[in-house]
Chains A and B, each alone.
Chain A
Amino acid sequence: MQSKSKLAGALLGAALWLAAAAPAAGAAGLTPRQILDHVDDLFRGKSSQGLMTMTVVTKHWQRTLTMQWWSKGKDRSLVRILAPKKEAGTATLRVGNNVWNYLPKVKRVIKLPSSMMSGSWMGSHFTNDDLVKESRMADDYTFKITFQGVRDGREIIEITCRPKPDAAVVWGQVRVVVQAGDYLPLFMRYFDEDLHPARTMYFTNVGDLGGRRLPRTMKMVPQDKPGEYTLVTYQKMRFDLELADSVFSLRSLRD
């Protein structure tokens, strides 16, 4: 009698294990790691260049910036504001973990102190840290698929990522939701260390960008500031073009 129930228990356990393992196996070939890498690599290339608009809406003001950017590899980028006129020429250069801003009004380059890396970038709801982040989600987090199926009429895969103990990450958890099939991200929700939602980035407006099929609009919505958001829309984008290293120098920052 006893041995029978043991056997039944083992069988039940095996069945549950199979059931739990099934979604991962059913993700049409891509493992969770591959999905995360896919999301990370969407906008990456050997190099890229493009034009975007950023609209920041806060309780007290709203404004739209038009910006041009260049990037090379994982760790070099340059962003320059084209409009509005008051701030045209203001530029941000990132090389590795260093960030410099050029201020045309005073014709000075200033280096951002590390204490301000978690501060807002150009008044938006993105932080300077978001800008310099180059490590892959799959390296910084442990992850697993926590939902797969139809939610809100869409077939999705939800991956929940928890930071590895030694990862330099400010979030307590990140939930990445991608569309099943093409694995394009739908949204990423960031949780603070108490696992309360802190902010959500939505990806919409999928279309052609530089020859890739990408979400062309990203909307960052902070949880603690109702009504506020930052909307980034890519107008033009080119991937894998030839860019000289000198583009990412303090000298070119001033131009």
Chain B
Amino acid sequence: MNTLRVAWRNLWRNRRRTLVTLAAVSVCTLILTVIYCLMEGLMVGAVANTTNLSLGEVQVYAKGYRHDRSFYKALKDPGAILAAASAAGVGAAPRSYSFGLAALGAKSSGARLWGIDPAAERAAFDLYRHVAQGRFLGDRPEKAVVLGYKLAKSLEARVGSTLVVVVQAADGSLGNDLFKVVGILKSCGAAIDRNAALVHRADFAELLVSGGRIHEVALNSRGRMPLEKLRALAAAAAPGQEVTTWRVIMPAASDMLNVWDSMMWLFGLVFILAAALGLMNTMLMATFERIREFGIIRALGATTWRILADVTGEAMILSLLGTGLGALLGLAVSQYLVVHGLDMSSLAGSYSVGGLTFDPVWRATLSLRSFLEPVLLMFGVCLLASIYPAILAARLDPVRAINRV
């Protein structure tokens, strides 16, 4: 306790220098935490936008389905996967897919039919909220279809239009029926925009004589379950079938996030080094100023440890105050950005890069990873930076130190 009191007094012997160092450390901490929280927000948001819409964090397919999308490669026991997901409190949606032809008047276009369970989609995913016109599919089959916006545009379809849908049914016959357009989606990424035609799974089964074939179960915990754990859960429920994660489905996006992660580390390192070097400079100056003093207390019987403790004590107080103050400010600014975000809509609306969609309002995310980690790291490195000046002081020869002018 005595050591700390001495350290505290020593610190304020050069008030201006201490304040400047404090400011440097806290500003670095502030910037570091705010930027980490913002970047974390960007990444978490982009992943959530991607997975929550319809992709899911984990997907299950029959072996080989992803390779050729053959209608006949259906999941063996989709019920077991759905049950396992439900038992773990994870959202899951079964889907059937088929390519077909959608026609309206003189217009026609290839389409990818999604046979979905609207109730399950609502519970696990956000696609139902991305309806630009009309509404999403109801829970009961009603020969209704919801279209991707580009598909709707190329068919010149409106809410209320009646589409002819033609497919090659599972028995080889030419499945065809009329579907009423009840909704048109907002922009949801190229895959959905261009050719998605969503229909109720019961209507799908009837049109395709599909016997309820399910091609995909998408699982989504909305970030509550670690990806690997969710993957293991799905794999256990679907032996012999292919379990993928969004990182596999969207390798470009996954790589991009990994690169960002590394870049953030580099960026953080620069800030932490700058703060630590500033602090080291202060401690070196303080040590050199007091060479005679150190010589005298050594001569009076102070141990090496005592001097080490004195100097590192000062550094500890300085780092603690600096990072503490910076962290408090950072917390406040980050919290503001969590709530209000940065409105980027004047620069770009909702935009996507590498398959990731970013919100027009850039919000921060406060988490252990994005806040506590950089703060603790900053504190630790600053402490380390004081060891060199402390060792210098501790190794002084008392006689020569006293005689130094």
Closest Cβ of chain A to B214, distance in Å, is: 17
Residue of A nearest to B72 (CB): A60
Q: Mark A85-115, 1 if CB is under 8 A from B, else 0.
A: 0110010000000000101011010111101
A123 interface residue (CB < 8 Å to B) = yes
Tell me which residues across on chain A come within 8 A of B174, comparing CB atoms: 87, 90, 103, 122-123
Closest to A115 in B: B110
Cβ of B43 to closest chain A Cβ, rounded Å: 37
Bound-complex Cα distance A62 to B109 (A)? 27
Interface size class of B (residues with CB under 8 A): 10 to 19
B176 and A120 contact, CB distance less than 8 A: no
In the bound complex, do residue B176 and residue A63 qualify as a contact, i.e. CB atoms below 8 Å apart?
A: no
A113 touches B172 (CB 8 A): no
B168, CB-defined interface residue at 8 Å: yes
Using A103-B166, A110-B164, A116-B110 as known contacts, say yes or no to A56 and B172 having CB atoms under 8 A apart. Answer: yes
Partner of B103, one of A60, A86, A110: A110
Q: Tell whether, in the assembled complex, residue A101 and residue B170 are in contact, meaning their CB atoms are under 8 Å apart.
A: no
Least CB separation from A86: chain B residue: B173
A-B interface, 3 closest residue pairs, ranked by CB to CB distance from nearest: A110-B103, A61-B172, A103-B176
Chain B positions within 8 Å of A47 at CB level: none
The answer to whether A123 and B168 have CB atoms under 8 Å apart is yes
Kindly list chain B residues whose C-beta atoms are within 8 Å of the C-beta of A63.
171-173
How many residue pairs link A and B with beta carbons under 8 A? The number is 55
A-B contact pairs, 17 of them (CB 8 A): A58-B172, A60-B170, A63-B172, A106-B177, A106-B178, A108-B164, A110-B101, A110-B164, A110-B166, A111-B106, A111-B108, A112-B101, A113-B109, A113-B110, A115-B109, A116-B110, A123-B168
Whether A61 contacts B177 by the Cβ 8 Å rule is no
The reply to whether B171 and A61 form a contact with Cβ atoms under 8 Å apart is yes
Q: Mark A48-67, 1 if CB is under 8 A from B, else 0.
A: 00000000101111110000
Q: How many residues of A contact B (CB 8 A)?
A: 24
Q: Taking the nearest CB of chain A, how far is it from the CB of B181, in angstroms? A: 15
Interface residues of A (CB under 8 A from B): 56, 58-63, 86-87, 90, 101, 103, 105-106, 108, 110-113, 115-116, 120, 122-123
Tell which of B101, B108, B173, B177 touches A87, judged by Cβ atoms closer than 8 Å: B173
The answer to whether A61 touches B166, judged by C-beta atoms less than 8 angstroms apart, is: no
User: What B residues does A110 contact at CB under 8 A?
Assistant: 101, 103, 108, 164, 166
Which chain A positions have C-beta within 8 A of B103? 108, 110-111
Looking at the assembled complex, report how far the CB atom of B164 sits from the nearest CB atom of chain A, in whole angstroms: 5
CA distance A111 to B172 in the complex (A): 21
CB-defined contacts of A59 to chain B, threshold 8 Å: 72
